[in-house]
Amino acid sequence: MTAPGAVVETPGGVRLQLRVIPRASSTALAGMREGRIVIRVTAPPVDSAANDAVIAALARWLDVPRGAVRVAAGATSRNKVVEVRGVTAARAARLLGE
């Protein structure tokens, strides 16, 4: 279950509050932490590899093109704000909360 504020509807899509854990053993959703959706990625936090892995995973999980996903804030932080075009907040919360 996603926390209130972790998925916010925007014109044309959603804004997601994420906590990214790089260098994990597998790429997966890992629940919630402090009001953020936790995503573990296998990529290291070097040369945007972790950001690219987050974008690819979210695009796959939300069934949108990679170009519809962008890191809006926190590119060098574990706490990120990611915007996704072409998905509703209800759909994103359902797909990411299961």
CB proximity list for 87: less than 8 A, separation 6 or greater: 13, 14, 62, 63, 64, 68
Q: pTM surpassing 0.75?
A: yes
Determine the structural domain holding residue 25 and report its residue range: 7-97
Q: Number of structural domains, the chain?
A: 1
The verdict on residue 1 lying in a domain is no
In a domain, 2, yes or no: no
Q: What is the pLDDT of residue 90?
A: 92
**CATH number of domain containing 92:** 3.30.1200.10
State residue 80's pLDDT score.
96
Query: End-to-end alpha-carbon separation of the chain, Å?
Result: 7
pLDDT at residue 42 in the model: 97
CA distance 24 to 8: 27
Task: Note the pLDDT tens digit of each residue in 25-78.
Answer: 999 999 999 999 999 999 999 999 999 999 999 999 999 999 999 999 999 999
* 3-state SS, residue 13: strand
